[in-house]
Structure 1
Amino acid sequence: MFHSLVIAFSTYSRLPMPQVEWSEKNMKYAICFFPLIGAVIGALFLLWVWLCAQLGLNSFLRAAGCVVLPLLASGGIHMDGFCDTVDALSSHQTRERKLEILKDSHTGAFAVIFCGVWLVLDLGALTQPEALRSFGVLALGFVLSRAMSGLALANLKGARPSGMLQAFADASHKSAVTAVMLVFLVLSVAGMVWLSPVSGGTAALAAALCLLHYRRMSYRQFGGITGDLAGYFVQLAELSMALAVALTWRFV
């Protein structure tokens, strides 16, 4: 299990990890630890908010750190998927061509434009809240987005017979992954609602709507999910939760 944890953190974060063998056995439960990466990111997120309060830093600088820290901790892997997906969707090409664009290492104009849009909206949303409970909701949101993504990986069909996401899906113990993801999902949503019934509930609902969009869009446009589409979902869900909290934080 330790090897599975190391593989999960090595793949989906830039946190220092020891080297382990990437065997099918070691990858079997790797996705089970995916939400724990969100928990670590959430802890760093809250630590930064606390530090800003202690140093008396302004809300804009606090928000800038809240935007940047998750991207740095994850190594930008999910934002990369978001950009590739936006490029593919904006091409209005055939399904086969869209899948090719996902694999293309070049960055298109739409990826740059919508990455900028994402960053501006997230920065604006994170400048708004003042209550610590609001930031607690957002910290748990990093767990929820990854629990939903892992749940999708275990239960939705893949668009390709190969690729990083498919490799994890093929190696995973799907019933175990599903059970663990559901536990993380319930705990994170319960924590969000406990911290703030209005903001937490609205943020959880926003993430759920993103999950429904993710499934519908992936099946219609690509014939299934891929690693890039999973990254697109994580970024979209986290932005949606940030906007939901920004709009409702006064009801905390």
Structure 2
Amino acid sequence: MKALKRLVLMLQFFTRIPINIQITANSSDFGKGLVFAPFVGLVIGAVLTIAAYGLLFIFPRVMVSALVLVLYIAITGGLHLDGLGDTFDGIFSNRPKERILEIMRDSRVGTNAVLAVASVLLLDFTALTQINEEYFLRIILLMPMAGRAGSLVGAAVSGYARLGEGLGKSFIDFCGKKELIWGLIIYSVISLLTFDLKLWIILLLPPLAALLTVKYFSSKVGGATGDILGAVCELNQCIFLVAACGILF
């Protein structure tokens, strides 16, 4: 029952899919629930794939690619894109650690945030339009899973960067090696079910990319935050799509 509760909790937190179930949860449920992050990504991908399949009967693939990304933002509420923007505003401000963390918490959007979000969405869109038509729907299905594997890895290998409370503290404090191992098992099983060597190669990249990315960000602020986990998710998803474009064009 705990596992099911945490799965539902993750779906409620990371998506806007209407799941009207009241759940009593504590901080550990959020952190330990990250084990289901790849599966949550697969659920998001399934919604996007069904929508894309239907839209292909009406629009050319370029327009469908754009609509898929708009739907992705709607389903996720732009949660991780917000983290991407905040992270880039802070990390690339060239300020001391304490000031970087203050900037990341500021609700105002700076130039670095706009450039980061625009660049990632541009790369996502271009990659989707150039991927071989045979793989188009499968890549849409898998891309959110690849991204959310990044949040899992990032939380499991990091300490919390702030002294007080924050949105990411529960995830980082309670997501450990056990959650990382089981989460990557879920990720691997879903990957293997694609039965495609090229996709296996591409899906190997996100966990490694997440490790390197979160280590870089952590070196700037002495750990990770919720914004950094969001940034790693979006960057991971983008890396997955760019790699898919390079291999499957």
Number of residue pairs matched by the alignment: 245
The aligned counterpart of 2:227 is 228
Q: How does 1:95-174 map to 2 (within 5 A)?
A: 95-161=97-163, 162-172=165-175, 174=176
User: Could you report, residue by residue, the CA deviation over 1:148-174 in whole angstroms, capped at 9, with x for unpaired residues?
Assistant: 4213312322212431221233345x3
Given candidates 29, 33, 38, the residue that maps to 1:35 is: 38
User: Could you report, residue by residue, the CA deviation over 1:161-202 in whole angstroms, capped at 9, with x for unpaired residues?
Assistant: 431221233345x3541232121232244345x33x23541x
CA distance in 1, matches of 2:119, 2:159: 30
User: Could you report, residue by residue, the CA deviation over 1:214-234 in whole angstroms, capped at 9, with x for unpaired residues?
Assistant: 232122111111110011011
- Root mean square deviation, CA, Å: 2.2
Unmatched 5+ residue regions in structure 2?
none
Which residue type is aligned with residue 38 of structure 2? P
The aligned counterpart of 2:92 is 90
Given candidates 49, 63, 66, the residue that maps to 2:65 is: 63
Asked if structure 2 preserves the Cα contact closer than 8 Å seen for 1:199 and 1:244, the reply is no
Shift of 1:24: 4.3
Which residue type is aligned with residue 217 of structure 2? S
CA distance in 2, matches of 1:108, 1:148: 24
CA distance in 1, matches of 2:36, 2:187: 13
The aligned counterpart of 2:236 is 237
TM-score (norm 2): 0.88
Which residue type is aligned with residue 88 of structure 2? V
Shift of 1:26: 4.6
Shift of 1:134: 4.1
Q: RCO (CA 8 Å, sep 6+): is it higher in 1 or 2? A: 2
CA distance in 2, matches of 1:233, 1:178: 15
Given the superposition, is the C-alpha separation of residues 249 and 117 from structure 1 closer, same or farther in structure 2, using an over 3 Å criterion?
same
TM-score (norm 1): 0.87
Residue aligned with 1:245, SS = helix
Percent of residue pairs identical: 26
Shift of 1:87: 0.6
Residue aligned with 1:91, SS = coil
Moved over 3 A (4+): 24-29, 169-172
Which residue type is aligned with residue 22 of structure 1? A
Asked if structure 2 preserves the Cα contact closer than 8 Å seen for 1:144 and 1:189, the reply is no
The aligned counterpart of 1:72 is 74
Shift of 1:11: 1.5
CA distance in 1, matches of 2:153, 2:88: 22
